[in-house]
Structure 1
Amino acid sequence: MNDHLQLPLTDADGELRPALSRALFRARRSLMTLFALVTVFFLWQTSQLQPDASFEKMIPVSHPYIANYLESRADLAGLGNVVRIIVETREGDIFTAEYQELLKQITDEVFYLNGVDRSALQSLWTPNVRWQEVTEEGFVGGTVIPDGYDGGARALEQLRENTLKSGQIGRIVANDFQSAIIVAPLVERDPTTGERLDYHQLSADLERLVRDKYQSENISIHITGFAKLVGDLIDGATLVGLFFLIAFTITGLTLFAYSHCWRLTFASLLCSTVAVIWQLGLLRLMGKGLDPYSMLVPFLVFAVGISHSVQITNHFAHTTFSGLARREAARLTFIRLSKPGFIALLSDGVGFLTLYVIDIPVIQELALVASTGIAVLILTNLVLLPLVLSATGISRRCLAHRVVKDQSHFRHWQWLSRAATAGPARSILVVGLVLLGVGLYFGQFQKIGDLDPGAPELRPDSRYNQDNAYLAAHYSTSTDVFVVMAHTEPQQCGNYPFISSVNFFEGYMSTVPGVQSALSLVDVSKLVIMGMNEGNPLWFDVSRNQYILNNSLARAPSNLRNTDCSMAPVILFLDDHRADTLDGVVNAVESFSAEYPTEAVDLRMAAGNAGVEAATNIVIAQAQDRMLLWVYGVVIALCLLNFRSLRITACIIIPLALTSILGQALMAGLGIGVKVATLPVIALGVGIGVDYGIYIYSALQQKLADGYGLQEAYFEALKSTGTAVAYTGLTLAVGVGTWIYSPIKFQADMGLMLTFMFFWNMLGALVLLPALAWLMQSRKSAVPQN
């Protein structure tokens, strides 16, 4: 009989696992029936799962900037969550009867879309878009669409004049007069149901009722805004099902190629798929849905399940090959691997749960979804899989193949086992130190936030980014808006000290790199004062006379101050929303407040899409190191609990840390910023990667306990565990590698990073771990054992 079977069935936890295994296998049929019934129930729950996304889930709602924005959101119409529909004509300009009739129809269509804040809707056809001018008789003005408009030549000429006087050129009318914008602010709650706004449905309505309905050979519709971006992400994320199918097929084929046994392949795929069904069903029971980011988690759960399944089926095949009956082989497999498997899965789950320290709801939900899936794997892979194997057994073809496989891999593992000897170990450690230096050097260039214009979650050639590029090219005001809220006492926003301070601040910010222009209540005041003085530009300034100020502000738009005149937004139009631009703006506001303190105005950041993103970047920058400390702290604690040795723990953790450092360097080199979409990859890579080291060192420890030398013990560990680790790492790398072809760029980025981390974690466990074990042995007469 193989020496592997002669190991005692008890260890530090006494008879617990043998006793538990006897109880489980006595109730085998009842347990498998229960698993089947629960799976059917969760499959039904999964079928009712819906996409779920909201504006507030994507932002750090407890950050002071966001708290300031939410407090004043009702007074910031059009400066928060808005959709912009651009209607472009390819023939002539917008001043034709046909175009204006079409723009009116689309405005009416958008007005009735569910989720649109109708009172704040802006278009050439809405009454809140007005023109104004100074004449000899005083100020005159009105709606841009002239009274009695009939589409005739005279009415169209009047419309052109009104548009030129409205100050909307470059804002809702293109600089080349080829298009006009309908600005549709959104409400966060559905006004009819009270439920959170369904962004996926809104995006679909925009496509069906606006783009598909009105776009033609002569008319192009461009749509931008958070809701449309989320809708496109969800549409693209539905392809995750296709990528899951591809990964499932690749995994199944490689599993069969590895084992040459359809029974083992079926058992592994079945139990890992059951885990995904349970995870999604539990998500539905918790009243949650899948957002664009957590849609990727089921595949990761499947990948972790396959990783553990390979270890279990490999051990089962090994014990069956040694002559045991399938039921006894399955029971022995449970006894041998339940402890390291449980510790590894616990490390995965708690590691994922550390993402909860990041105060962004979408990441916290991802942490909950991922850790729930890992908890399910403890049942489906550590309990259900041995039970299934005891029923399916193993084919004779697999047993015959194992003889050939063991012989073919003998030389490979013999050669790799030299990593635990002096010469190769020294070389490996030197290479590891060089890679550490390279990783630390390039990792310092890693950036927080977006590094590309447009929506970096999507590819540059996506329709959304093309629409966004059109807006940027044909309009003066950027879509990247940073709003600073200037607060004062009620009814004091028209007083000279406040207006003067805001004017000084606006001028200061206009000189900051990355700021295109600024707009506030002050600009309206200066324009009116200039108009009251025959348009003389010398009067384009803030008046110290309070009566003149009051008169100049009487005609200010309502969106430039709140109802009790205690807050006026200062709107900064930025070149882009890149991390460096946002950092520069935030630092400039803070520097101004520190250098020029005044009681007349309290400057509070930040609203607008750029302001929200700046707050998100700050939260991620603060949480990144804290999250890493938590995830490594948890993994280290669990390794210490399992192995009771600092040296062994170091052997497992150091390869993981090296992979994390190299991963950060890779992100810096590829221009991938740390943001909501990419931050979880770091924790996911660590959580999954620790499995390799735990399984390998568990096998190594058993052989060392039998009296083997380090190289011989590692060789024996490789024979029983190394193939499974190498296969798992390569298979998972290939599986997530297919994500690189996703139309969603953040999924492609995650696929690239996870492929890198899966492969390097596997390589570190097979090569660097034994070299570290040799180093620890050289510092002590023997490698530490329990």
Structure 2
Amino acid sequence: MTKLIDFLELVIFRHRGWVIALFALFTGYLLLQATNLRLDAAFTKNIPLNHSYMKTYMEHQKNFGGANSILVSVCDRDSDIFNETFFNRLKEVHDQLFFIPGVDRSQVKSLYSASTRFTEVVEEGFSGGPVIPADFSASDPRGLDLVSQNISKAGIVGRMVSDDFQCAMVNAQLLELDPQTGEQLDTLAFAADLEEQLRGQYEDDEISIHIIGFAKMVGDVADGAKDVLLFFAVAIAITAVMVYFFCKSLLLTVLPLACSIIAVIWQMGLVTLLGFGLDPMSILVPFLVFAIGVSHGVQMINSVGKQVVMGHSAKSGAQMAFRTLLIPGGVALLSDTVGFMTLLVIDIGIIRELAITASLGVAVIILTNLILLPVLMSYVKLGDKYKAKFANKEKRSDHFWETISKCSSPNVAKVILVLVALLFAYGWYQSSQMKIGDLHAGAPALHEDSRYNQDTFLITDKYAISVDYLSVLVETTASACTSHQIMSDIDEFQWKMENVPGVQSTVSLASVAKLINAGYNEGNPKWRVLPRNQQTMVQAISRVDTSSGLLNGDCSVMPVILFMDDHKAETINRVVDAVKEYRQQYEREDLQFKLASGPVGVMAATNEAVKAAQNPMMAYVFGAVILLCLLSFRSLRATLSVVIPLYVVSVLAQALMTKLQIGLTVSTLPVIALGVGIGVDYGIYILSTMSQKLKSGMPVRQAYFDALKERGSAVLFTGITLAIGVSTWVFSSLKFQMDMGILLTFMFVVNMLGAIVVLPALASVFWYKQNSDKKVRK
């Protein structure tokens, strides 16, 4: 390893001009590539495609639509819907939605759809037709009265018309591919079209428009994610001020910031070359790359400053800093990279792209901050004035480090470790109660008072359905809907599910067939049963078209649709567990109840994927950190001194999630890996200096004091700077970014404290033979 470092030092610093020229060339090229970076939020990236639920979903998506649907509620602000203005506006919204590219036109439904029909029992038998007849005129009071009667006959109150008759629904399924381009549907552009062409054109003082669905939610999240640029600018400003106060030099402030920005440019350019885009979640990664880059850059300028104060030239000081920090810095950054790569175990596209994006960014920092930065600093002229300021700062900090070094004295260490053990026990208990999934109604990525969530709450309140529904797909034999036994089993299953808390209403072919059978018998409620005679059963289901979404072409698949109160984790778990329990009573070779389709089916699959990946991800993260620390320090004691504080902090972070009611979701699960990956840097930098001195037989407290003098200022600075940077996220318009900000702030600060306080206490125990109560030599 020493020979390799010697070789790299010789090549890099002998050809400094070429090194800078190569970095400039690659930066220009990758900056050009980064200009082509686009936002990408495809629906399929957000679901675990290999999960059994999603395989069922994809298999039957063509016949029954998917979870990627849009609900548009058109509401009269002052009265009911039966007026000319409302119906004209409803027709305009229906037609406009029909022609927006990306909408499956065969799946657009509203009162104006030809498939929206009513059926009634008359003396001659059945009578029926479209709810809105072809000759309907909204200006004719008699026509409005007729439509009012037809709506009641159609049984669509609560589904297509609100319970208070103040709103009516237009809903549609979306295509996976844009019919105009043949490429993946641009979800963000589609969301913008919805806002501009529906709400923008048709909402006014009389009529309000409310839109919910995956595409609209992602569009609103992307709009909120644009604030990240503001937070990025704020973070740069805050970091610049703090770096200046740390090094007291404008030039030394600019260099680490510039190298970190170059790392961000490289990361974004490489992501573009790989064909990836930035989704609303990975758009936060450039900030993390910048923050990590600055933390390692500060270590470099701090090390060069110390060498210069000791009498070395800027070039020799930069070379010494390069030699000193290449191994610990490289190990820390490799730990970060491998930690992020462990996110690949989560079989969800959006997280896998986050893992690749973050790993690329951190790997690039090895080049920009451990190679380019010391080369640039070798040209810096640090005068006597700077040397005097730096020396005075070091002298003033000696007393502070002497106080902190007491953490490694045996008596103080025992107290610290007892307190840590108590905190760990409390954190373990709290973390065991952490919920997987969303804990609040509405879109969890957005605040409760956001426009999207307010629309969600209105639709949930006014209708008996919502976008929160789960479809249990009943797979059986062809023409099974004419079998009384099979239809009866489906009906009983549906009835049991309808009585599960959290299920608002249900519908299936069996429940509709009972209504039709009653209609054939003068509407008598006593006949609202499934007929045992096969011919009568055929008569009952013949009026249900495949466009209803209740059966496929040969009647071999019939969904049972469960409309739910919300998509909270406990609600989804309760309903899914009930499905798994009740279906065991009915399943046989020719009858299978398959989970799941619908938005809640996607959420259930995602929650299960997150739960399944949680423990393996943590095992891989810590396994990678342990392996790299063992290779670097060649000491089990040193490795445990770094890893134990990290593990305690990760458990405490999960406890914090429980206390703040933050569920473990696609957006919060990566935070634990990110926190561990970045948090390991503090311990590695301190222990890399400390372990060499311990190997030479130096007392633990003296070794720790010397390590603090060399690395402590930079560790404290980076921990505080990183925490302040991400703490600004609490002001984000995105709730998931706010949650990530809170958790990352906690992990940055507490991991830094773990390295400063807990690590030396552990070292006091592991190197107990080298304990000494003597005062440190300054």
TM more than 0.5: yes
Indicate whether 1:562 and 2:562 are aligned: no
Indicate whether 1:213 and 2:201 are aligned: yes
Which of 38, 42, 47 pairs up with 2:30?
A: 42
Which of 621, 627, 638 pairs up with 1:637?
A: 627
Query: Aligned residue for 2:593?
Result: 603
Indicate whether 1:126 and 2:126 are aligned: no
How far the C-alpha of 1:781 sits from its partner, in A, is 8.7
Contact 1:252–1:269 under 8 Å retained in 2: yes
Indicate whether 1:760 and 2:747 are aligned: no
What SS is found at the alignment partner of 1:132?
A: strand
Moved more, 96-105 or 343-352: 96-105
Report matched runs for 1:74-85 at 5 Å: 74-77=62-65, 79-85=66-72
2:668 counterpart letter in structure 1: T
How far the C-alpha of 1:147 sits from its partner, in A, is 2.4
Query: Aligned residue for 2:438?
Result: 450
What do residues 285-313 of structure 1 show as CA deviations (whole Å, max 9, x unaligned)?
11111001101111111111111111111
Contact 1:172–1:181 under 8 Å retained in 2: yes
Query: Aligned residue for 2:185?
Result: 197
Indicate whether 1:520 and 2:508 are aligned: yes
Query: Aligned residue for 1:419?
Result: 407
1:676 counterpart letter in structure 2: V
What do residues 173-212 of structure 1 show as CA deviations (whole Å, max 9, x unaligned)?
1111111111021011111212111111111111111111
1:551 counterpart letter in structure 2: Q
Cα separation, 2, equivalents of 1:538 and 1:396: 100
Contact 1:704–1:713 under 8 Å retained in 2: yes
Query: Aligned residue for 1:337?
Result: 325
Which of 330, 335, 345 pairs up with 1:347?
A: 335
Query: Aligned residue for 2:684?
Result: 694
Cα separation, 2, equivalents of 1:313 and 1:600: 71
Report matched runs for 1:59-78 at 5 Å: 59-77=47-65
Contact 2:701–2:771 under 8 Å retained in 1: no
Moved more, 369-378 or 398-407: 398-407
How far the C-alpha of 1:597 sits from its partner, in A, is 3.4
Contact 2:13–2:375 under 8 Å retained in 1: yes
What SS is found at the alignment partner of 2:558?
A: strand
Cα separation, 2, equivalents of 1:393 and 1:370: 35
Cα separation, 1, equivalents of 2:651 and 2:44: 32
Report matched runs for 1:233-248 at 5 Å: 233-248=221-236
Indicate whether 1:323 and 2:311 are aligned: yes
Query: Aligned residue for 1:536?
Result: 524
Contact 2:638–2:691 under 8 Å retained in 1: no
TM-score by length of 2: 0.97
What SS is found at the alignment partner of 2:2?
A: coil
Cα separation, 1, equivalents of 2:166 and 2:131: 17
Query: Aligned residue for 1:659?
Result: 649
Contact 1:543–1:549 under 8 Å retained in 2: yes
Cα separation, 1, equivalents of 2:602 and 2:556: 22
Contact 1:173–1:180 under 8 Å retained in 2: yes
% identical aligned pairs = 46
2:449 counterpart letter in structure 1: D
Query: Aligned residue for 1:110?
Result: 97
How far the C-alpha of 1:705 sits from its partner, in A, is 4.4
Contact 1:502–1:601 under 8 Å retained in 2: no
What do residues 445-501 of structure 1 show as CA deviations (whole Å, max 9, x unaligned)?
100000000111100000000000110111112331011000111222332121011
Cα separation, 1, equivalents of 2:450 and 2:148: 34
1:693 counterpart letter in structure 2: G
Query: Aligned residue for 2:215?
Result: 227
What do residues 344-399 of structure 1 show as CA deviations (whole Å, max 9, x unaligned)?
11100011000000111111110000101111111111111111111234354432
Which of 106, 119, 125 pairs up with 1:138?
A: 125
Report matched runs for 1:165-180 at 5 Å: 165-180=153-168
Indicate whether 1:281 and 2:269 are aligned: yes
| Pair 1:128–1:413, CA change in 2 (3 A) | same
Cα separation, 2, equivalents of 1:427 and 1:680: 33
| Pair 1:233–1:175, CA change in 2 (3 A) | same
Query: Aligned residue for 1:433?
Result: 421
What SS is found at the alignment partner of 1:291?
A: coil
How far the C-alpha of 1:600 sits from its partner, in A, is 4.1
**Runs of 5+ unmatched residues, structure 2:** 773-778
How far the C-alpha of 1:779 sits from its partner, in A, is 6.7
What SS is found at the alignment partner of 2:481?
A: coil
How far the C-alpha of 1:130 sits from its partner, in A, is 1.2
What SS is found at the alignment partner of 2:682?
A: helix
Cα separation, 2, equivalents of 1:569 and 1:362: 29
Cα separation, 1, equivalents of 2:584 and 2:734: 42
Cα separation, 1, equivalents of 2:384 and 2:352: 48
Query: Aligned residue for 1:477?
Result: 465
Contact 2:72–2:210 under 8 Å retained in 1: yes
Query: Aligned residue for 2:604?
Result: 614
Query: Aligned residue for 1:585?
Result: 575
Query: Aligned residue for 1:91?
Result: 78
What SS is found at the alignment partner of 1:287?
A: coil
What do residues 243-263 of structure 1 show as CA deviations (whole Å, max 9, x unaligned)?
000001000000001110111
Query: Aligned residue for 1:29?
Result: 17
Query: Aligned residue for 1:647?
Result: 637
Cα separation, 1, equivalents of 2:332 and 2:612: 28
Moved more, 659-668 or 556-565: 556-565
Which of 652, 658, 669 pairs up with 1:679?
A: 669
Query: Aligned residue for 1:293?
Result: 281
Indicate whether 1:409 and 2:397 are aligned: yes
Cα separation, 2, equivalents of 1:309 and 1:629: 29
How far the C-alpha of 1:141 sits from its partner, in A, is 1.3
1:765 counterpart letter in structure 2: A
| Pair 1:504–1:598, CA change in 2 (3 A) | farther
Contact 2:30–2:270 under 8 Å retained in 1: yes
Cα separation, 2, equivalents of 1:397 and 1:227: 59
Contact 2:645–2:755 under 8 Å retained in 1: yes
2:703 counterpart letter in structure 1: A
Cα separation, 1, equivalents of 2:191 and 2:313: 58
Contact 1:501–1:600 under 8 Å retained in 2: no
Cα separation, 2, equivalents of 1:704 and 1:146: 89
Contact 1:261–1:394 under 8 Å retained in 2: no
Contact 2:460–2:565 under 8 Å retained in 1: no
Moved more, 406-415 or 144-153: 144-153
How far the C-alpha of 1:74 sits from its partner, in A, is 0.9
Contact 2:464–2:505 under 8 Å retained in 1: no
Task: Indicate the RMSD between aligned Cα atoms, in angstroms.
Answer: 1.3
Cα separation, 2, equivalents of 1:463 and 1:55: 21
Cα separation, 1, equivalents of 2:17 and 2:78: 74
Which of 714, 725, 729 pairs up with 2:704?
A: 714
How far the C-alpha of 1:780 sits from its partner, in A, is 8.0
1:138 counterpart letter in structure 2: G
**Runs of 5+ unmatched residues, structure 1:** 1-12
Which of 24, 46, 51 pairs up with 1:58?
A: 46
Cα separation, 2, equivalents of 1:541 and 1:28: 86
Cα separation, 2, equivalents of 1:367 and 1:708: 41
Cα separation, 2, equivalents of 1:395 and 1:725: 25
How far the C-alpha of 1:671 sits from its partner, in A, is 0.2
| Pair 1:267–1:125, CA change in 2 (3 A) | same
Moved more, 697-706 or 384-393: 697-706
Moved more, 703-712 or 99-108: 703-712
What do residues 648-702 of structure 1 show as CA deviations (whole Å, max 9, x unaligned)?
1000000000100000000000000000010000000000000111100011123
